[in-house]
Structure 1
Amino acid sequence: MGTFEELVAEGEAVPTEGWDFTWFTGRATEQRPSWGYAGLLADRMADATAALDLQTGGGEVLAAVPVAPPVLAATEAWPPNLAIARANLAGFGATVVEAEVTDDLPFPDGAFDLVVSRHPVATRWDEVHRVLRPGGRYLSQQVGSGSVRELTEFMMGPSPAPLHPVAPPPTTTYAGALPIDAVTAAELAGLTVVDVRQEALRMEFHDLAAVVHFLRKVVWIVPGFTVDAYRERLATLHAFMERHGPFVAHSQRYLVEAVRRTPAA
């Protein structure tokens, strides 16, 4: 393990563009949900004729599917990720468009028979319903309430304040929502939820560089994080890991799958 300053510098130097976490290999680990989102995604894509991936990041997860439908589109809000996603998805002939996470989707009604999203910042369930065809399907793995709470509370102190203190519209949920709130919003928007699963997953951070890079990349864990603002807490964490080993936290994940009701239903 390097010195405090060496590890801080290393964690600050790693680019944060894209949604590729391979840099963490050997430095941090996270259990994967038992349902296997990548496998479910591949199965649904193989059966689709027109699919949309919301908040695709750098398109890394979508690019790994073996077979893509004839029509494939994706949205992304962060400009640095757009070029990465377009390059990653070029082999599928996908259209990648810039769209803010809570904006109306720039697609016509009933354009897709499959909409997917992995770890969206926000979910506009009404817009998912609108762009799905009757009988179309939505599949999403979401970040649940209290994810990586141990790291948030170590850095910032315990706080009962919700992640989004302003009440969202009834058909919008944000990362950190409870599964029951997502189901309620989905069904209010006109979708039928057919599957919900939830798991807490062990995470281990083995050095301070991994923590610094993680907090720079996953910005909602410690909002407004900078090394200068949290240098004292980082030094305490570094000393702990030197003496006692990895810092352990738990990510919260849930899977939700929903279908747009047909007119007969």
Structure 2
Amino acid sequence: MDYKKLKEYWLAEEKKSFQGWNFSYISNRKSEEPLPWDYDKIIRQYLKADSVLLDMGTGGGEYLLSLEHPYQNTFATEAYPPNVELCKNTLIPLGIDVRQVFNDHDLPYENYMFDIIINRHESFDINEVYRLLKPNGLFITQQVGGLNNKEISKFLIDDFKEITSSDHNLANNIELIQNRGFTILKAEEYFPKLKFFDVGALVYFAKIIEWEFPNFTVDSCYEKLCELHSIIEEQGFIESREHRFIIVAQKLSI
């Protein structure tokens, strides 16, 4: 085994660029266990043509566009500057309102503006969600839980310090949302398996998901990456455990 060439390959994967929220580059080098619910199907169950919709943390707008919701009723927020630029080229010309935001506690919209707020893997302040929703409005969020990929992060990174709290789970979020004046229509939690078929795919993934792999570099984690490479040679993959939960909540009428 030529470890010098292997490291050069990993370093090249570490430098790959990333846009939007699209992992198609490594799609055939990893597999993710399906969730027992369908986020898209749940949203379409509630979304009507006249619904005023906000997508929190839209990424590059890829999923939002797939909904084909009337553009004049469609709004989106995004913080990551490269994705904001992408939205300027793809969403804004269509008439979709996109706002760059950096503070969950102060979103630039009027009170009682939205019928539905959707949120896939984005942080939120439930007080702001409550303020923005019309009476009986819906909040649909699928979250990455605090235990997501934590075992493999701890293995790879010496002196690992978690950024996302392990307390970020279904039970605690249900309590938070109910206490703010919502009724829960649906709630479910799952821990799907994520498999990587080569270490280069993990390197690419870890460099992007920096909040789960803080201070990750090929150089600092090289010996651990070599260990994982040996495991892949033996069994064909390495496995991580993800953490997902979904909540559909309805704002109680005033």
- TM-score, structure 1 normalization: 0.86
Is the 8 Å Cα contact of residues 68 and 92 (structure 1) preserved in structure 2? Answer: no
Partner of 1:179: 170
Q: Distance in 1 between matches of 2:164 and 2:191?
A: 21
Provide closer, same or farther for how the CA distance between residues 148 and 72 of structure 1 changes in structure 2, counting only shifts above 3 A: same
Per-residue deviation, 1:191: 1.8
Aligned mates of 1:30, 1:64 — CA distance in 2: 21
Which residue identity does 1:146 align to in structure 2? L
Q: Partner of 2:31 in structure 1?
A: 29
RMSD: 2.4
Moved more, 44-53 or 215-224: 44-53
Q: Distance in 2 between matches of 1:88 and 1:32?
A: 29
User: Which residue of structure 2 aligns with residue 60 of structure 1?
Assistant: 62
Residue 78 of structure 2 is aligned to residue 76 of structure 1: yes
Q: Deviations over 1:196-254 (max 9, x none)?
A: 01111111001111111111111222112222222222222223222332101121111
The 3 A distance-change label for structure 1 pair 214 and 176 is: farther
* Contact map agreement 2:13 2:200 (CA 8 A) in 1: yes
1:143 alignment partner in structure 2: 144
* Residue 227 in structure 1 maps to residue 218 in structure 2: yes
Alignment of 1:162-201 (within 5 A): 163-164=163-164, 177-201=168-192
**Which piece of structure 1 moves more, 70-79 or 85-94?**
85-94
Work out the number of aligned pairs and report it: 252
User: 1:243 is paired with a residue of what secondary structure?
Assistant: helix
Relative to structure 2, which stretch is displaced further, 126-135 or 35-44? 35-44
Corresponding residue for residue 130 of structure 2: 129
Q: Structure 2: how far apart are the matches of 1:213 and 1:164?
A: 20
Distance in 2 (CA, whole Å) between partners of 1:105 and 1:186 is 18
Listed as ranges, the gaps of 5+ residues in structure 2 are none
Q: Report 1:194-209 matches (<5 A).
A: 194-209=185-200
Partners of 2:60 and 2:87 within 8 A in 1: yes
Preserved contact between residue 104 and residue 128 of structure 2 (Cα < 8 Å):
no
Instruction: Name the counterpart of 1:119.
Output: 121
* Residue in structure 2 matched with residue 102 of structure 1 by the alignment: 104
**Aligned position for 1:168:** none
From the superposition, tell whether residues 68 and 158 of structure 1 become closer, same or farther in structure 2 (CA, over 3 Å): farther
Give the direction of change, closer, same or farther, for the CA distance of 1:26–1:140 in structure 2 (3 Å limit). Answer: same
How far residue 162 of structure 1 moved from its aligned partner, in angstroms, is 5.7
Alignment check: 8 A CA contact 1:203 1:251 kept: yes
Amino acid at match of 1:124: D
Aligned partners of 1:119, 1:85: CA distance in 2, in Å?
18
CA contact (8 A) 1:137 1:257 kept: yes
Quote the offset at 1:45 in angstroms.
Answer: 3.2
If the length of structure 2 is used for normalisation, what is the TM-score?
A: 0.89
Deviation at 1:41, TM superposition (A): 2.4
Deviation at 1:113, TM superposition (A): 0.6
Contact 1:163 1:176 in 2 (8 A): no
Q: Matched residues in 2 for 1:48 and 1:155: separation?
A: 48
- Residue type of the alignment partner of 2:179: L
Instruction: Name 1:171's counterpart in structure 2.
Output: none
Matches of 1:37 and 1:44, distance apart in 2: 11
1:60–1:85 Cα contact (<8 Å) kept: no
Aligned to 1:50: 52
AA aligned opposite 1:37: Y
Query: Which residues of structure 1 form unaligned runs of 5+?
Result: 166-174
User: In percent, how many aligned pairs have the same letter?
Assistant: 27
Check whether the contact 2:142–2:247 (CA below 8 A) recurs between aligned residues: yes
User: Shift of residue 6 of structure 1?
Assistant: 4.0
Cα-to-partner distance string for 1:24-51 (whole Å, 9 max, x where unaligned): 2210111221211122223333355211
Q: 1:139 to 1:125 in 2, by over 3 A?
A: same
Please state whether the residue corresponding to 2:220 is helix, strand or coil.
coil
